[in-house]
Structure 1
């Protein structure tokens, strides 16, 4: 199966991978500016998100993305990954280093990360709400947790819609993605690891740790950001991404 996706533009390929709170609509603010900047931009929905149906057997999210790129005839791409999408981007960069020209990671998760007690407690609170049938409560928990103080009400409503759809689809799931342990030392792409000062500590710490784990990475923390900075200050993050891509892909 080819996962649901959009593709537009011409030039070096840039692939946008969404957070598990969202779907590919989270990239609406960056979509056209990146196309206009001269990139062939691809965004997709992982299985059970957006327009991509649930899987009926164990699967690999990274393999799904690589299959999509093969389907589109893209051999090399820059990846922009948010949270869970960042983890998948890192996995792809470790499994197929030659396929990744640059990595921009926004509050990314990391393969093999052991969650803190605080993050485990958050997961348990969400699970308790869902088991009680309180989808509204679970949605609001995620909106409160993952959006920082800069997010306006239309942004919060968009995240509510995306998260609610995810819950409604995924509550019927019987299988999930396969666990993928990778060697991050294999990542060769220039990497920008962005953290948010208002984010959950796990993700701030992951962003700060990546320059010590990857051979060509730098860390930048945004003092105003929560977990989804591209939705909280869209124009600012768009310019940050364009500058990083221009620098990293010069001459390619």
Structure 2
């Protein structure tokens, strides 16, 4: 299956991988800035998000995303769960990924603490009780930082609701194909961005990566929640473009 995606602009390719709270529409504030700076933006919906239906057979998110790219080197910007996919691609194919931007990224080295576990338990309880709206509101409250506009919160609410509707319509999602890889093998320049209003586990993922890759650029945003590219694109886009250039 080819993932739902769109390609905008010309120039060096930048693959945009969305958070698993939302879908590729999260990059609406980012794509114009990339294109104006001379990049080609390729954004996709992973399976079970946006316009991509849930998987019905064995699959792998990284393989799906790679199918959208050619053989030329490219950059990846990954948010949260999309960051985990970006890390897998960069580790498995270090010769292809020239730069890697991770925004509040998850990863194989994410170990949930009590707060994150409590959030997941509350979300699961609401979904099991059939309170989809309550689960959506919980996610918007948790993941969107305090400086986001009401319009941004509404956008996240619409996307999160669509995620639940898509994924709950499938009795059971098939497993992903897994591969052996090591984050130490990543050769790309790396920008690691985290937010002060996010769960600390995502900061720990970035800190662990910075320890393995001491040349990585580490940025901690005092104003940001979990989705800084949506919350304050006016502040984040210049950081992204400065790094990519």
TM-score normalised to structure 1 length: 0.93
Q: How big is the shift at 1:122?
A: 1.0
Task: Indicate if the aligned counterparts of 1:188 and 1:215 stay in contact, CA closer than 8 A.
Answer: no
Aligned mates of 1:181, 1:152 — CA distance in 2? 41
Q: Which residue of 2 aligns with 1:20?
A: 20
Equivalent pair of 1:107/1:194 in contact (CA under 8 Å): yes
Tell me, yes or no, if structure 1 residue 206 matches structure 2 residue 172: no
Q: CA deviation at 1:76?
A: 1.4
Q: 1:192–1:244: 8 Å Cα contact kept in structure 2? A: yes
Q: Give the superposed CA RMSD.
A: 1.3
- Gapped runs of 5+ residues in structure 1? 247-252
Task: Go from structure 1 to structure 2 and tell me whether the alpha carbon gap of 1:85 and 1:77 turns closer, same or farther (over 3 Å shift).
Answer: same
Output the CA distance in 1 between the equivalents of 2:119 and 2:103: 20
Instruction: Indicate which of 73, 77, 95 corresponds to 2:74.
Output: 77
* Matched residue SS, 2:68: helix
Q: In 1, are the aligned partners of 2:145 and 2:197 still within 8 Å (CA)?
A: yes
For structure 2, the residue ranges without an aligned partner over 5 or more in a row are: none
- How far, CA to CA, are the matches of 2:217 and 2:208 in structure 1? 10
**Corresponding residue SS for 2:100:** strand
1:175 matched residue in structure 2: 173
Q: Is 1:196 aligned to 2:195, yes or no? A: yes
Q: Give 1:80-229 correspondences, 5 Å limit.
A: 80-173=77-170, 174-178=172-176, 179=178, 182-214=181-213, 216-229=215-228
Distance, in Å, in 1 between the alignment partners of 2:8 and 2:58 is 30
Matched pairs, number: 243
**Structure 1 residues 154-175: Cα deviation after superposition (integer angstroms, max 9, x where no partner):** 0000000000000000012322
Higher helix share goes to which structure?
1
Shift of 1:75: 2.5
Is the contact made by 1:195 and 1:208 (CA closer than 8 Å) also made in structure 2?
no
Contact 2:109 2:205 in 1 (8 A): no
Q: Deviating runs (4+, > 3 A) in structure 1?
A: none
How far is 1:66 from its partner? Answer: 0.9
Of 211-220 and 92-101, more deviation after overlay is shown by: 211-220
> How far does the alpha carbon of each residue in 1:145-193 deviate from its partner, in whole angstroms, 9 at most, with x for none?
0011001100000000000000000012322452555310100101000
Task: Give a deviation string over 1:104-133, Cα, whole Å, max 9, x none.
Answer: 110000124222222122111111100110
Contact residue 210 and residue 218 of structure 1 kept, 8 A? no
User: Scaled by the length of structure 2, what TM-score is found?
Assistant: 0.95
After superposition, give the CA deviation of every residue in 1:26-52 in whole Å (9 maximum; x if it has no partner).
000011111111011100000000000
Contact kept, 8 Å, 1:22 with 1:162, in 2: the verdict is yes
> Alignment partner of 2:146: what SS?
coil
In the alignment, the residues of structure 1 paired with residue 9 and residue 79 of structure 2 have an alpha-carbon distance, to the nearest angstrom, of 21
